[in-house]
Structures are given as C-alpha cells and as structure tokens.
Structure 1
C-alpha cells in the first residue's frame, strides 16, 4: 500500500475508534470516519494477538492490504478506514477473504456509486 493510503498514527486510530462508525460480518470489522480534507482514502489494518502468532498476523495483514490495494479505485475517497480481522479469518483462503472484505465494505455502503453493481 502506497504511503498516501496508509493510516499509521495511534491518534488517528483512536479518533476513528471513538468518532467513526463501524460495520461488521463474522470475519471482519470495518471502522470508518469521513475526512473531507483528504483527496484519497487512508487504510489501517489491525489483527489481534488472539488470532494467532506474529507470523499468522503479519500474513493476514499483508493479504488484507493486498486485497484493498488491487481494487483501491472502487473505495470511496475522503474516508479513513480501519479493517480488523476476527478469529475465523485464520482458516480462510485468499478468495474467501476477498469476498468477505468486499461484503463488509458493500454493507457499509462505501463502494463508489458506479461500482456497486457486481460484475
């Protein structure tokens, strides 16, 4: 994920957790907060220690970021997002994870308007 799309500071995470909205399914939780000053969106990814050891968590984080990176043009700009992984994600394949992430984003109505129709 390129630098302008990254959310890295603790205070940014805390602000989104406190003032943002959330949407969830069984595998992921998506927190989001409008940021009108931003031209693009920023994404933060978090995986709890409850999910697995460092190797597992880092692998999940890389996969989650890659799923978003490949279709970043479909994400609504002017938002900050935090994507949290829940325990069931560990057993999922890449394609299942991708489907689940886009499900929670679609559920939150955060896809660009012209891309909401599934092809």
Structure 2
C-alpha cells in the first residue's frame, strides 16, 4: 500500500478515535472520519498483543493491507479509516478476512460499487 494511503501519526489516530464513528463485526472494528481536505482515503491498522505474537500480528497487517490495496477503488474516498483487528480474525484465511472486512465497510455505508458490477 502506497505511503499516501497510510494513516501513521498518533494525532491522526486520536482524532479518528475521538471524533469519528465506528462500526463492528466479530472480527474487526472500523473507525472512520470524513476528511474533505484529502483526495483519497487513509488507512491505519491496529492489532493488539492479545491477538497473537509479532508473527501473527504482522501477518494479519500484511493481509489487510493487500486486501485494501487490491480493492481501494471500492472504498469511499476522503475518509480516514482505522481497522482494529479482534482475536477471531487470527484464525481466518484470506478469503474469509476479505469478506469480513468488506462486511464491516458495507455496514458503515462506505463501500462504493464499480460501474461494471452494478446491477
């Protein structure tokens, strides 16, 4: 995932936590905050030590980044997102994780469909 799509600073995370809205399912919590000044979305990922050791946490982060990278045109722009990973996500494979992430994004009404997939 390119650098322009990253939410990295502590103050940005705190702003999204404090002023943003949240939506959750069993595996993920999504915090989101509109940012009209930016032209694309920014994503931050948070994985607690409760989820697993460093190998597990980094694997989850890499999988989430790849899922978002491949589907970035389907996410609403001009938003900051924070995706918090819950413990049940550690046992998921790629397809299940992708489905769960987009479930929570659709639940928050932040999923845009491509023109070719509209029916």
**Shared topology, TM-score over 0.5?**
yes
CA distance in 1, matches of 2:41, 2:93: 26
Is structure 2 residue 18 aligned with structure 1 residue 11?
no
Aligned residues: 118
- CA distance, structure 1, for counterparts of residue 90 and residue 113 of structure 2: 31
Which residue is 2:26 aligned to? 26
Distance (Å, rounded) in 2 between the aligned partners of 1:43 and 1:102? 14
Structure 2 partner of 1:89: 89
Residue 51 of structure 1 deviates from its aligned partner by 0.2
- Unaligned ranges ≥5, structure 2: none
Aligned pairs for 1:45-56 (under 5 A) are 45-56=45-56
SS at match of 1:13: helix
Alpha-carbon distance in 2 for matches of 1:15, 1:90: 27
SS at match of 1:80: strand
Distance 1:105 1:79 in 2: 12
- Residue 71 of structure 1 corresponds to 71
What CA deviation, in whole Å up to 9, does each residue of 1:3-55 have, x standing for no partner? 11000000000000000000000000000000000100000011000000001
Query: Structure 2 length as normaliser, TM-score?
Result: 0.94
TM-score by length of 1: 0.94
TM-superposed deviation, 1:114:
5.0
1:30-45 → structure 2 map (5 Å cutoff)? 30-45=30-45
- Note the C-alpha offset of 1:118: 7.4
